[in-house]
Amino acid sequence: MQCARCHIRPGRGRAIAPELGHFAADAQEIIRRPDYHGQATTAAQYIYESILNPNAYVLPPFGDLTPDSSSIMPKDFSQRLNETEIENLVTYLLTLH
């Protein structure tokens, strides 16, 4: 699904994107930040939002990768993945620690 092209499992590889792990805890913290202006109120919603609308909140310092501070995440996952696939993905990501 290409996620691993940028995201790595904890402890490995390059820092081009945040590690896909400890999301459940991180997301709880992120959605309370003063500079978070997305719609999510739960960790699961935040992960949905991050996949379907990466620009809703660009995690610092990864905005530095682009001149306009947008996310380098592909913006077309909502077309490439169906609802079940996205649901499974979010469920899986929430189990990573």
Binding residues for ligand HEC, rule: CB under 6 A, are 1-3, 5-7, 17-18, 26, 30, 47, 50-51, 54, 57-59, 62, 71-74, 77, 89
Nearest-approach distance from CB 55 to ligand HEC, in angstroms: 7
Contact 89, 1 (CB under 8 A): yes
Classify burial at 63, counting beta carbons within 10 Å of its beta carbon; exposed 0-12, middle 13-18, buried 19 or more.
middle
Nearest-approach distance from CB 12 to ligand HEC, in angstroms: 15
Q: Which is nearer to ligand HEC, 6 or 45 (CB)?
A: 6
**Other beta carbons within 10 Å of 46:** 24
